[in-house]
A and B are shown apart, each in its own frame.
Chain A
Amino acid sequence: MESDNNIITMDHIDKYIFDAYGKPLHGTNVKILDDVHFDMRKAEVHILIGENGAGKSTLMKIIGGLIPYDSGTFTYMSKPAFFKGPKDSLSQGIGFVHQELNLCQNLSVAQNIFLGSEPLKKNSRFIDKDMIYEKSAALLASLGFEIDPHELTSNLSTAQQQIVEIVKVLSYNCKVIIMDEPTASLTQKEIDKLFGIIRTLKEKGISVIYISHRFEELKEIGDRLTVLRDGKYIGTIDMVDFDYDTIIHMMVGRKLGAMFTTNHKTTTDEVLRVENLKIAQRTAPISLHVNKGEIVGLSGLVGAGRTELAKSIFGVRQYYGGKILYNGKELIHQVPKKLIQDGLIYLSEDRKVEGCVLPMQIDQNMTLAALHQIFKNGYIDKGKERNICNQSVGELGIVSQSLQQKCNTLSGGNQQKVVFAKWLITEPKLMILDEPTRGIDVKAKADIYKIIDDMASKGVAILFISSELPEIIGMCDRIYVMAGGTIAGEIIDKKSFTQEKILSYTVT
């Protein structure tokens, strides 16, 4: 067909769940990429979309040479592709602009741009410093950005740093450039400039893989679009045929109701009330309330201040004025220890950093927040600990070899269930759940929705923070939408829960 016009062709790509070093984890057969197809033509902007955890980043990491694939075929420029690492793929013409900023904050803009490929002075082994600054200035100017190459990177705004990242990749004469959510931190003006750059690249015959969640901009910039869902390839369409509903259907692909269980009944007994709380000096005050047996959604884009609000309530972050009432009593100088005893818990969005102690055993993690329960007669009652944990393992359906298994050998879904078990053992009355389903597979997600619903049925008040709109819509009784550090809107009527309505509040 158009195979000679293809610069990248990937077929039947499988990738098993892997650890931080890209090696497959022992004892799991969870595929994060399952029979994925991807092809890319010369000089096109190919958009890749999918929900969180759909496998977009993993696929890009394979193309960028960061991790190997487990099976399948991958041809680059009509030859089987083999990359030893990111540096190797870069030298072969594949550039990667990462979502997270990967710049050295202590170096200047120009030093960052030429990091690892510094030009040398003639007949010497010394870096040609003048050349670095000259070239950087030329590069930045040709793209129309006013950034001083001598400036220290730490003095730049996030958006400017993002631009430096892009310029850095451009300095390498790449044939393919991967951009992972490049516009997430850019202003409209900068986005327009970036799109200008992308169009220029296209004219030069360079292909761009573009990952984004912003529907508005996709049609403007893309040529074709590939959808991934739960690690599987769903389809590729030409942007001429772009239709909002089709894409959403491809991305979500299932009846929302099937995933979610909602058997709980709401009450009017108020458990949590936040009045005029400010999460930063200059943001508008926040007011909200959560009732017994109610699941209240807290939606919004990343950076809208949801986690900051949750951490303020949980007493691990400073807030600026306002009142937090829990069961009618005002919380003053609250600390996690006391709050947990009183039944207020916070499930952190970052499982690996704040949720689970990965090198510890399953049972040790589960009882970590309720040590007083098993500490009887002056010692830890291991028998009682085992009973409590076995019960949790059964109730939550945790798949493990034994309670002594270390948590870093579990899949993400099971790790998250262990964290859930930790909090359920403390018998909470109010649960603040921050992205409880992030990065876990569909089966585990459905299980966790069931756990959340069960807790609400038992009368637990739940504040449910999530970026994934389907689960907010599917699970919640009431939705708050946050934007710019404050509550931008509240949606009370279940009938008017739509992605469009929620998204409309996130744009300020």
Chain B
Amino acid sequence: MAMTNPVSIIKGAVSLIIGLGVTIKAFFRPVVTCQYPREVVTIPPRFRGHTKLVGDDENPDRTRCIVCGMCERNCPSGAIRKVEGEKREGEKKKVATAYILDFTTCSQCGICVEVCPTDALAFSDDYNVAGYSRENCHFDLVKEYEKRKATR
């Protein structure tokens, strides 16, 4: 075995010392832990939370959704349960009144965001969706839009 060769012993010992140097440097460097409930990680812009409806630029009272049903038809998991809307006076296209997303089966694939003809859907950055019942994850995106509109 090459073990009794003095040169390889010295080389081996030197590499061990170098290794020790690496770990002791790491010991004195600051920790990278983000202590979650007290500190929060900044969410990157392309984070995929559940989807949200985007407001219309010209008329912020309504969402861009025209209730065509493309997202509902194309969802591979069938997570989009109900998209309903009505035609209002003065609006050229339909306005969404209810949009039920079952987040328990959503895989955040992004097909609904991609196929929407009016770019009405976008990913939100909400990750605190744990709850005690399945219904906690059934989101009505129109109601959420109304809530965000009220607090703006």
Instruction: Answer whether A and B are interacting partners.
Output: no
